[in-house]
Amino acid sequence: MSNIKNGVNRRKVLKGATAGIITAGVAPTIFTKGAWAQEFRNDPKGGDVILGFNVPQTGPYSDEGADELRAYTLAVKHLNGEGDGGMLNTMQPSNLKGNGILGQKVTYVTGDTQTKSDAARDSARRMIERDGALIITGGSSSGVAVAVQALCQEMGTIFMAGLTHSDDTTGKDKKRYGFRHFFNTYMTGAALAPVLKDEYGSDRVAYHLTSDYNWGYTQQRAIKDATEAIGWRTEKTVLTPVGQGDFSQYITPFLNSGADVLILNHYGKDMVNSLTQSIQFGLKDRQVNGKNVEIVVPLFSRLMAQGAGDNIKGILGSANWNWSLQDEGSKAFVKSFGAEYGFPPSMAAHTCYVQTLLYADACERAGTLYPPEVIKALEGHKFDGMGNGATEYRAEDHQCFKDVLVVRGNANPTSQFDLLEVVQEVPRAQVEYDASIFGGELGPYEVS
Amino acid sequence: MDALILQVLNGLDKGGAYALIALGLTLVFGTLGVVNFAHGALFMLGAFCAVTFKKIITLEQIVLSKTELSPWGTPLEIRTPYAQQWFGDFGNVLIEYSVPFSLLLAIPVMLFIGIAMERGIIKHFYKRPHAEQILVTFGLAIVLQEIVKAFFGANPNPQPIPQIFMGAADLGVMVGMAENVITYPKWRLVYLFFSLGVIAAVFAFLRFTTFGLVVRAGMSDRETVSMLGINIDKRFTIMFGIAAVVAGLAGVMYTPILPPDYTLGMDFLVLSFIVVVVGGMGSLPGAVLAGFMLGVVQSLASMTEVKDIIPGIDQIIIYLIAVIILLVRPRGLLGKRGVMEN
């Protein structure tokens, strides 16, 4: 009775309870955007945002890894407002202010993938569990990317892939927590084939030497499909062991095979060796079927081109990016990187730098570091000013779609870095495909 | 038929490299009784003598341009090789022929490295079990390759072929066949003849010199030679140095075929050990015979016709042959009784 006396009746209690529920349930989402951020792994809670750079620091791709690390270091500097800002000045749209991520300073830890899947997973796990890394990014191998991406999905940590070119990364092995800015083998085939037709004609016979691992298979399939679509015939496809060294026993069968184009689906040291030895066998001085014999290297990188020396001159291939591009984004990045290190960045460095900025920008747009919200901010995001023209992170497979470069080994380089000339910037529309053709499932946003 | 001839040439060429490394391994094992897993690293160090020589003769004078800028806004660097400035046209010849010239650098460097390795580390393991010798020399190989990586990076370092040896020689035309039927890279032919020359020189040295006579005697009966008042240890140390030189020269001349990186030695080491075992531990002719034989067999197994019947045979053929030979002749092709049998 005393309650009634004090003016507290059932109706008032219900009103109060309802108001309380609304206050407790809704108000935080209005006034404290990002309050869910309390519940995720490695929430910095106002401290430094720690990024995990997982790159090959030892092993055959350690030079490429070193270049990736340089780019990441530069990206962190720019995010924290140091240096000239690089692509922060050209990225469109951009929510980055040079004050870290969501006002929190950005720092980083590093791991060594050794270009081995097990080692890469171990170093990624160590950075997440021990060092507090909020994301994992980097790498120079599709095998490593797929392995680390799967781990990151399990752990609820975003993975921004480095150099990975296999279709599987955003195809059958795609993951909700994995994002790839780099192009893939399908795009290489789609971009390269029309140029091959223009340069060498449609009546050609191809012979493939292919690295015997996942990337090689997808690269061979993409180039074979694309060249057969322009009228070429495939004489033979031969798998070669990874790290073969001497390819002479695989090159000699080509000589009398009747084929007039040798396609080297090799990367890294294998590419350097097979290309060097093919040139020594005098392939470029031969004629078959009344045509000059040609060599094609579908995936080029400037760092690998340095290893091949003069042998790369005149050879056609594709690249994700090249430092000689003259758009504002590329120029800004080359200027920052060159001033910092004294030489231009590789395409691996470019993709890693861009990935870091894209992640930071997505956090700003989401207003939180909470991974599911950052993922949603990245999915379907359209941007420009980062070196490849208008680009989109496709929501269906987390693959970036942008212009692809067809490049040729420079016959008259003006410097030790001027090894590739851009033959054509193939528009994005020409390399797009249906996300469903490679299968795979992204998986859930929320992981336990 | 032409494909067969080409693969035999490939095999002989590859076999030349195997034989030279295996020859050095056998020399060390036969004289010092040491199983040297760092021998592949000596091949790699030889290759990097060529890289170093080229780096030295292509050192550049860098002048900053007062008018032009680099793409990143710093003054453009104008580079001119000192060799060109100092020696004119001969400087260009030095650069073009850097690989043959670097043989002159490799001989003293590899001799010094070999002797230092033997005196500094390996002599302390003569009386230790072979397992410990393998562990210490394998560890040494890893240390050497990491040092090379620290100085030269992980990427391959391409080396030039002199202009006259560029491209392929039409061997078919020389024997009356049609053009372009049997063509083979000129530098690989140079390598084949070079390896045959070095092998002949080593055998001649051991056969026709007093030093070689003493070494051969020491390989057969070390104690008796020592009792005659001959310092056989000193001669064996020199033999270690010579084995290092042989591996190093093989490495130098291989650089145009395979742009060297720090893993080069390991790539050849396992195969070379198989060559030694198949040839017979301690047998120099066995090492050479097995080197060429396994090189040819490996190339023939890579022929499309063979792989169509047994896919992947090219990857296992050497190991398969090794198993068969060791089952039939446990001491290898030309192995002697008593070697590594206690």
* DSSP structure string for A280-332: HTTGGG-EETTEE-EEEEEE--HHHHHHHGGGGTT-EEEES--TT--SHHHHH
Exposed e or buried b for every residue in B290-324, given b needs 16+ CB within 10 A? bbbbbbbbbbbbbbeeebeeeeebbbebbeebbee
Q: Tell me, yes or no, whether A280 and A202 share the same domain.
A: yes
Instruction: Indicate whether A159 and A106 sit together in one domain.
Output: yes
Query: Considering only alpha carbons, which residue of chain A is nearest residue B188?
Result: A280
Do A121 and A177 sit in the same domain of this protein? yes
Per DSSP, the three-state class of A37 is helix
Q: How many CB atoms lie within 10 A of CB A362?
A: 24
Tell me what pLDDT residue A9 has.
59
pTM for the model: 0.84
B5, B14, B70: which to substitute to probe chain A, counting the most A Cβ within 10 Å?
A: B70
User: pLDDT tens digits for chain A (448 residues)?
Assistant: 344 445 555 565 556 555 555 444 444 444 444 444 457 899 998 899 999 999 998 877 888 999 999 999 999 999 999 999 999 999 999 999 999 999 999 999 999 998 899 999 999 999 999 999 999 999 988 999 999 999 999 999 999 999 999 999 999 999 999 999 999 999 999 999 999 999 999 999 999 999 988 899 999 999 999 999 999 999 999 988 888 888 988 999 898 889 999 999 999 888 989 999 999 999 988 999 899 999 999 998 877 888 888 889 999 999 999 999 999 999 999 999 999 999 999 999 999 999 999 999 999 999 999 999 999 999 999 999 999 999 999 999 999 999 999 999 999 888 888 899 999 999 999 999 999 999 999 999 988 7
| A53 contacts A110 by C-beta, under 8 angstroms | yes
pLDDT score at A34: 45
Is some CB atom of chain A closer than 8 A to the CB atom of B10?
A: yes
- Euclidean distance between CA atoms A344 and A323, whole angstroms: 6
Structural domain includes residue A153: yes
Contacts (Cβ under 8 Å, ≥6 apart) of B92: B83, B84
Residue A336 near chain B (CB below 8 Å): yes
Last residue of a domain, one of A286, A319, A352: A319
Check whether the bond before B285 is cis (ω within 30° of 0). Answer: no
> In A, which residues are within 8 Å of B259 by CB distance?
272-273, 276, 307-309
The answer to whether residues A76 and A53 belong to one domain is: yes
A58 inside domain = yes
Q: Is the dihedral of CA A105, A110, A115, A119 positive or negative?
A: negative
- Report the gap between the CA of B85 and the closest CA in chain A (Å): 19
Whether A211 and A238 share a structural domain: yes
Give the separation between CA B261 and CA B155, rounded to whole angstroms.
6
Tell me the chain B residues in contact with residue A241 when contact means C-beta distances shorter than 8 Å. 315
Closest-CA distance, A211 to chain B, in angstroms, reads: 13
Nearest beta carbon to residue A269 from set B156, B161, B166: B156
Q: Do B259 and A308 touch (CB under 8 A)?
A: yes
Residues A192 and A296 occupy one common structural domain: yes
Give the residue carrying structure tokens 């050192």.
Answer: B59
Indicate whether A17 belongs to any domain: no
Chain A contact for B54 (CB, 8 A cutoff): no
From the list B81, B74, B79, the residue with the least C-alpha distance to B59 is B81
CB contact under 8 A, A62 and B13: no
Number of H helices, E strands in chain B: 15, 4
Sheet hosting strand A158-161, strand order edge to edge: A106-112, A49-55, A135-138, A158-161, A178-179
Residues A204 and A179 in one domain: no
- Ranges of each domain in chain B: 2-55+99-328
Residue A434 lies in a domain: no
In a domain, A25, yes or no: no
Residue A444 lies in a domain: no
Question: To 10 degrees, what angle do helices B130-152 and B264-279 make?
Answer: 150
- pLDDT number for residue B31: 79
Cα A374 vs. chain centroid, distance in angstroms? 18
Together in a domain, A285 and A352: no
User: What is the H or E stretch that residue A404 is in?
Assistant: strand A404-409
- The nearest alpha carbon in chain B to A236 belongs to B304
Judge: B73–A337 Cβ closer than 8 Å, yes or no. no
**Alpha-carbon span B242 to B307, nearest angstrom:** 40
Q: Which residue segment(s) compose the domain that A394 sits in? A: 49-183+323-401
Tell how far CA A204 is from the center of its chain.
Answer: 32
- A61 reaches B (C-beta below 8 A): yes
Residue whose token pair is 């030895």: A277
pLDDT in tens, B30-80: 778 888 889 999 999 999 999 999 999 989 888 888 888 888 888 888 888
Task: Please count the structural domains in chain A.
Answer: 2
A427 falls within a domain: no
Specify whether A296 is located in the same domain as A338: no
| Nearest residue in chain A measured CA to CA from B268 | A245
**Would you call A41 exposed, middle or buried from its count of C-beta atoms within 10 A (0-12, 13-18, 19+)?**
middle
Structure-token pair, residue B15: 């076999």
The C-alpha atoms of residue A223 and residue A221 are separated, in whole angstroms, by: 6
> Are the CB atoms for B179 and A239 separated by under 8 Å?
no
Burial class of A18 by CB neighbour count within 10 A (0 to 12, 13 to 18, 19+): exposed
Same domain, A191 and A276: yes
End position of a domain, from candidates A267, A299, A319: A319
Identify whether A395 is part of a domain: yes
Spatial CA neighbour of B283 closest among B248, B325, B240, B334: B334
The pLDDT of residue A96 is 96
State residue A361's pLDDT score: 98
* Domain identity same for A195 and A270: yes
Q: Is B67 on the interface with A (CB under 8 A)?
A: no
Beta-carbon neighbour count of residue A82 at 10 Å? 11
- List the single residue in B73, B154, B167 with the smallest CB-CB distance to A63: B154
Q: How confident is the model at residue B190, as a pLDDT?
A: 95
**In the CATH hierarchy, which fold is given to the domain comprising B2-55+99-328?**
ABC transporter involved in vitamin B12 uptake, BtuC (1.10.3470)
DSSP string covering B156-188: ----PPPGGG-SEEEHHHHTT--TTSSEEEHHH
- Whether B72 and A245 lie within 8 Å, measured CB to CB: no
The partner residue sitting opposite A60, judged by closest CB among B72, B263, B299, is B263
Residues 303-322 of B with CB under 8 A from A: 303-304, 307, 314-315
Q: Any CB–CB contact under 8 A between B118 and chain A?
A: no
Look up residue B227 and give its amino acid.
Answer: M
DSSP for B184-248, please give it.
EEHHHHHHHHHHHHHHHHHHHHHHHSHHHHHHHHHHH-HHHHHHTT--HHHHHHHHHHHHHHHHH
Assign residue A222 the CATH number of its domain: 3.40.50.2300
Same domain, A217 and A156: no
Interface contacts (A, B; CB < 8 Å): 123
Look at residues A293, A319, A345 and tell me which one is the last residue of a structural domain: A319
CA-closest candidate to residue B155, choices A339, A66, A342, A298 = A66
Nearest-angstrom CA–CA distance, A49 and B151: 35
Provide block-wise average pLDDT over 10 residues at a time, chain B (342 residues).
85 91 87 86 96 92 86 83 84 90 96 94 86 91 92 87 91 83 91 95 93 88 87 90 94 93 86 88 89 92 85 87 91 76 57
